[in-house]
Chain A
Amino acid sequence: MEIPRGRVSAVMGPSGTGKTTLLRLITGQVRADAGSIRVAGASLAELSRDELYALRRRMGMLFQNGALLTDSSVFENVAFPLREHTKLPERVIRQLVLTKLQAVGLRGAAELMPSELSGGMGRRVALARAIVMDPEILIYDEPFAGLDPISMGVILRLIRRLNDALGLTSIVVSHDVHEISSVADVVYLLSGGSVVAQGTPQELNSSRSEIVRQFVGGLADGPVPFHYPAPDYFGELLARDGDH
C-alpha cells in the first residue's frame, strides 16, 4: 500500500477490518508484528522514541471524537502544541491560533470550552489544532462519524481545501462511501486485514469485484456475510435445555 504525497487518500472498509490499526501503525502508536512501514523515508521500526516524536511533529491527526483537552478553552487547545514545542511570544501564538481558527470558521468560538461545542464544531477545533504546527501529513480517523449533513459538508470541504492550500498529504479513514468518493484522489478498500481493491473512486464504483460491490452498494449480504458464524440454526432451536 502506498500513500501518494500531496493527495487525499482514503482508506475504507467494513468495521473491524483493521483501519484504525493501520492508522496506529502509520503514526507509530503500535509496532508492526511483521512487514515494514516507511513514513517520509524513515522506517518506523528503526526509530528511537525521540526520532518518532520528531517525526510526529510533521504529522497532524484528527481523532474520531476530537480528543480535545477538556480542561482548556478552544484557544488553549489550539495553542497547546505551540506552547509545548516552541518558545514563541504570546502575540505570535495568538495570531497563529486565530488564523487556524479562522480557517475552520471558528474564530468566534475561541473562548468557549470544549463541553460547549457541538460534535461538528469540536472536530473542527481539533482540525485547527492538528494543522497549527503546519504538518506535512494529516490523518483523519472517521472524520464523519456521527455528524449531521451540514457539519459533514463542512469537514469534507475543509479536507479538500486544507490539502490543496497547505500542500498536505491527507489520509482519511472512513466508511462513508459517498462522502469519500467526492473528496478522495485514491481509495484503498480493506477487508479482513488486507487490501482488496484500490484505485480512484470512479474505478471502484465500476469495479466488478463482489466485495467492492457489496461495500460500495451497501448490500447486507455478500462476501462479508450477514450472519456472524454460528452453529446450525434449526439444530440450535430444537436442542433441549442444557444441550448447548
Chain B
Amino acid sequence: MFAELWISLTESLVRLGDIVRFLLRVLGQVPRALPRFQLIVDQVYNAGSLSLVIIMLSGLFVGMVLGLQGFELLQRFGSEEALGTAAAIGLVKELGPVVTALLFAGRAGTALASELGLMRATDQLSAMEMMAVDPVRRVVVPRFLGGVIAMPLLAAIFSMIGIYGAQLVGVQIMHVDSGSFWSQMRASVDLKDINEGIVKSCVFGVTCSLIAVYEGYHATPTAEGVGAATTRTVVTSAVVVLFLDYLLTAFFL
C-alpha cells in the first residue's frame, strides 16, 4: 500500500512539474500574443460574458442563504445589525473568489478543455504547427489570458450580487435595520479584506485557466481522451482551488 501511495505521489509531482513547465511556455509566448489583442478580447467574452448568468444567479442565491443563516446566527447574540459586515466579509474574502472559481472551472474551464481537446483530436493543432504557427501562441495564450482577466471581474460581480442578496433577505424580509446594515458594513470592511479577495480571485484565475488549457492541449486525441480531460479539469481545479484558498487565507491572517 505504501508503494502505491509512493507511486501516485511521484506521479502527481511529475504532473505538477509538467504543468509548471507548460505555464512557463505559455508565459514566454505572452509578449508575442499581445499584439493580436482582438483574440484575447474574444476569449474574455467567451470565458467571462458567457459565464455571467450562472455567476449572477449563484451569487444571488449564495447571498440570500448567507443572509438567512447569518441572521439566524447573529440573532442569538442580539447583534443582527452586524449582518451586513458578516455577509460582506464572507463574500468578498471567501465565497466570492472560491465559488466563482468552482463555477468558472465547471462552465468556462470545461469549455476550454474540450475545445482544445477537440482541436487536438481533429489535427487542427498539428495543422497550425505545419503552417509554422505556434498553437501555444495562437490558441492557448489568448484563452489563458481571457480566463485570467475574466475571473477577478466575475468574482467581483458575484460578491456584489451576493451582498445584494443578503440585503434582500436580511433587510427586506427579516427587517434588519437598513441603515445599520450598510453603515456597519462600510465601517468594518477595510481595504485589506478587499485586497485579499482580489488576490485570491487572480490566483484562482491563473490556476483554473492554466489547468483547463493544460488538460485540453495535452488531451489524448480520442473521444474518451477529450472526455477524460474535461473531467480532470473540473476535479483538479476544484481540489487545487480549495487547497490554495487555505494557504492564501493563512497567509493573509
Contact = CB atoms under 8 A, between A and B. Distances in A.
Interface of A: 27, 29, 53-54, 56-57, 59-61, 63-65, 67-70, 80-81, 84-85, 126, 129, 133
B126 interface: yes
B18 interface: no
Given A63-B123, A65-B123, A70-B122, A84 B133 contact: yes
9 contacts: A27-B130, A29-B126, A54-B132, A59-B130, A67-B127, A70-B119, A80-B131, A126-B127, A129-B131
Interface of B: 118-119, 122-124, 126-127, 129-134, 138
A67 B122 contact: yes
Contacts of B134: 53
Given A60-B130, A63-B127, A70-B122, 18 more contacts: A53-B132, A56-B131, A56-B132, A57-B131, A61-B127, A63-B123, A65-B122, A65-B123, A67-B122, A67-B124, A67-B127, A68-B124, A68-B127, A70-B124, A84-B131, A84-B133, A85-B133, A129-B131
Interface centre among B118, B131, B132 (most CB of A within 10 A): B131
Contacts of B131: 56-57, 80-81, 84, 129, 133
A35 B133 CA distance: 27
Nearest to A23: B130
B122 A57 contact: no
B132 A64 contact: no
B138 A84 contact: yes
A189 B154 CA distance: 58
Contacts of A85: 132-133
Contact of B123 (A53, A54, A64): A64
A211 to B, nearest CB: 30
A85 B124 CA distance: 17
A64 to B, nearest CB: 7
Contacts of B119: 70
A31 to B, nearest CB: 14
Contact of B130 (A56, A64, A84): A56
A115 B138 CA distance: 22
A68 B124 CA distance: 6
Contacts of A68: 124, 127
A70 B129 CA distance: 16
B220 to A, nearest CB: 17
A56 B129 CA distance: 8
Given A63-B123, A70-B124, A29 B129 contact: yes
A133 B118 CA distance: 26
Closest 7 pairs between A and B when the two form their complex, measured CB to CB: A67-B123, A67-B127, A53-B132, A56-B132, A61-B130, A63-B123, A57-B132
Nearest to A71: B115
A27 B138 CA distance: 20
B125 to A, nearest CB: 9
Contacts of B126: 29, 63, 67
Nearest to B137: A84
Q: Which of A54, A70, A129 has the most CB of B within 10 A?
A: A70
A56 B126 CA distance: 12
Contacts of A64: 123
Contacts of A133: 131
A53 B131 CA distance: 8
A70 B131 CA distance: 16
Contacts of A61: 127, 130
Contacts of A67: 122-124, 126-127
Contacts of B138: 84
A63 B129 CA distance: 12
A18 B130 CA distance: 19
